[in-house]
Amino acid sequence: MNKAFAAIKQAAVLLRRHPWVALPFVILAITEGIVLYLLFLAPQQPFASLLAPPIERFYGERYVHYPWHLLKLPELFFQCKMLLSLLPGMFLSAVLVGLVGDIQLSKRPTFWKHLNTSAHRFFTLLCIWLLNLGAIKLIGMFSTQTFAWAKAHDFLFPAQLLAFFLSFWVQMLFLYTLPLIMLFNDSLLQALLKNFRYLKRLFFPTSVCLLIGALFYLGLFYLELDLKNLATRISPEVIVVVLSGGILMTLVINLFVTTTSTLLFIQDDSTDLTPSNITSEAST
Amino acid sequence: MKTTIAYSCLIWSVLAITGCSFDPGYEAEKAFWEADQLGRSLAAAHPDGLEEKQYLELIRAFGQVVEVAPAETLAAEAQFRIAQMYITIGNLESAHTTLNSIFKEFQEDKEIAARAAFSNGKLYQANGEIEPAMRQYQAIMQNCPLTSIGLEMPIYIILYYQQQGDQDRTRSASSQARKHYQNLMNAYAGTSVAKKVRPYLLRVFELENAWADMLDFWTAEIKKQINRTDIIEANLGKASVLATRLDQPAEAKEIYESLIARFPTEPMTALVRVRLAYLEVADSNWDKARQYFSRAWQDLPADNPLRINSYLGLAMIERKQKNDRAAFDYYDRIQAEFPNNSTALQVPLIKYLHHQNVNQPAKAEEALQAAIETYRSQWLDKPSADTAPIVGQLLLQCLIQQKDWSAAATHLEVLTKRFPEEARYNKLFTALQTIDPSDLGRALQDFSNNPQSMPAMQPPR
């Protein structure tokens, strides 16, 4: 517990002293904002010429009309977010890990160099992303099965809450692969094996950090659950407001979780940050 | 700097939420939905009906659609709703003005313009103002002649005067209709439009019982046509008039035979053979009829529903010749080849009715039981949206035939819930609630025997 709170405190200090560290996730949040805005404008000209046909093709004609397209927006945005989490999401997360590593090693942080490193490790990062995606899909499948049962037993909300926390917690599975790849230039297999060793040692503090992140999002999650009713009661545009809030909240949580987990990793006893062990890019 | 960023963020957020777009179609959809929602909430708040001030509030809401996007189709739809609401509150003047404005503003979209003028005309007509109503109808014929309403308009006028018993005006309307359709056919000669107009002109002939004129029309068409399909179609039309209207089957047969001789392998010749076969049946020429029917279904592709007519014709011949087994074989073929066709679905009931007609009570009872079992299992198997109404109705009819009144009444209740839009079921079900239980059987039988409430399920003759 102390380890977790120490890491959180350190992360707060680090982000206050070096706010530009947040740049990768700010870029990601801006990209997500633009995508959300484009999806919102999809049924309107001039965007409709380009964006409406695929929506019409995959979801049906009604979803390019008001207010149905707004009701479909969460699903559409989720699909886009999944893609954005790979490109540029995965690279930007890797860059942030690199930047935190630089600061901890008292080196001059360089955004482009880390971006270059992450580009060189594209396939390794892609594999990690796919593993993460698989884990999230598994939780999704489990949720679908559970929700059907829970609905029949008047147990839906607790089941949804459980699925929500589980979806946060599952991100932990491959969390330490990123610092291993970015700071130690480990191969995929090495990174995966070492990741589980780190996970075993840092299971509790990492879980605490992720739980705090999940608690941050809880309010918005509650709104998202009943988004359609909320839209009917207030206005369909409220969906855009909630999704925009989600982008901001994701920015804060991602920043918090990635920074604290990187700090936990660096400060772990088994992490040897002597220059001979770390990647040439990180040491220079 | 910070203030600038804060203001930029604020402006961006406002633009994002409001759409930052000036797409009138989208704006119209939004305004229409909002007005619709208002209507729903007002209706929920006032279950006993809305008052004038609430209608005026709704009219203002739908008026927003016209304001934000006057040229959009939804603006016309909003104005139709406005006109309807003006009618409801008794402000006919404003309703006429609104409908007139749609007619003028949507001249580019002829279907909408025609709908507006027709609604306006009907409104005048409902209030006994025939002259202005006719002016609206004439405007449709002049400005939107090729719309669905425009094409129907001359016939509508004839039927109106016919209903009024005004023979002079009926004649004048018929003459005008003939000229109108003829002009359209001349103006669009050789195009698909002329073919689209043709059935309307034929309907005018039919309304006037002008069979000789219809015959002349087809004769003229035969002379005009240049491709095979058109020639066959025109000859079929002529022969049909001769056989069914002028009682000259010999001349009709001659036409059919000459068509078969000229075009023995054309796809449409199968239809010619079926028609000729029915004429031969009428003359009791069984062998010739059988030959034409057999050749027709052999020539037809497996999925062509005309095969059903051939099988029905062949079954009819076998039944006339007291060869029930062969007749039933043809019914079974219909079931096997077209399981979801309405005729195929009727086969179990047809078999029962046949046994009953030829006075075979034991076989009839057995066939009825089999029919009920078949329909019940089809009904429980959740039939498709197309077949469900037919299966449901057939099961009801069989239960009535079996005189199982309580099962019939229970099934009727199920039908009422499953097809709430079917007025005849609702009407009967409501009636059954009020009558004496001993009259239940009679009421159900009356319902079954009334061709208006239930199509007669007699075997084809």
Q: For chain A, 284 residues long, give each residue's pLDDT as a single digit of tens.
A: 777 888 888 888 888 888 888 888 899 999 999 999 989 988 888 888 888 888 888 888 888 888 888 888 998 999 898 889 887 888 888 888 888 888 887 777 788 888 888 888 888 888 988 988 888 888 888 877 787 777 777 777 888 888 888 888 888 888 888 888 888 888 888 888 888 888 888 888 888 888 888 888 888 888 888 888 888 888 888 899 999 999 999 899 988 888 888 888 888 766 666 655 555 444 33
Neighbours of B409 (CB within 10 A): 21
Contact (CB, 8 A) for B405 and B453: no
Beta strands in B185-273 (DSSP E): none
In chain A, which residues have their Cβ closer than 8 Å to the Cβ of B23? 43-45, 48
Neighbours of B353 (CB within 10 A): 20
Handedness of CA B154, B155, B156, B160 (dihedral sign): positive
Considering only CB atoms, B26 lies closest to which of A43, A236, A237, namely: A43
Q: Which one of B10, B30, B38 makes the best mutation probe of the A interface by having the most chain A beta carbons within 10 Å?
A: B30
Q: How far apart are CA B93 and CA B87, in angstroms?
A: 9
Reduced 3-state DSSP string for B58-88: HHHHHHHHHHHCCCCHHHHHHHHHHHHHHHH
Specify the amino acid at residue B320. K
Q: How far apart are CA B432 and CA B438, in angstroms?
A: 11
> Closest Cα partner for A163 from A134, A129, A138, A128?
A138
* Helices and strands (H and E) in chain B: how many: 23, 0
Task: State whether B26 and A44 contact (CB < 8 Å).
Answer: yes
Q: How far apart are CA A246 and CA A29, in angstroms?
A: 10
> Closest Cα partner for B45 from B34, B36, B56, B54?
B54
CA B292 and chain centroid, separation: 31
Q: How far apart are CA A103 and CA A20, in angstroms?
A: 12
Q: How far is CA B222 from CA B195, B226, B266, in A?
A: 14, 9, 17
Q: Which one of A65, A239, A240, A242 makes the best mutation probe of the B interface by having the most chain B beta carbons within 10 Å?
A: A65
Looking at the complex, report in whole angstroms how far the Cα of residue B39 sits from the nearest Cα belonging to chain A. Answer: 14
The phi, psi pair for A234, rounded to 5°, reads -100, -75
Q: Which runs of consecutive H residues, i.e. helices, occur in B341-434?
A: 342-357, 361-380, 388-401, 405-418, 423-434
- Summarised one tens digit per residue, pLDDT across range B44-72 is 888 888 888 889 999 999 998 888 888 88
Is the pTM here over 0.90, yes or no? no
Considering only CB atoms, A44 lies closest to which of B13, B17, B21, namely: B21
* Helices and strands (H and E) in chain A: how many: 14, 0
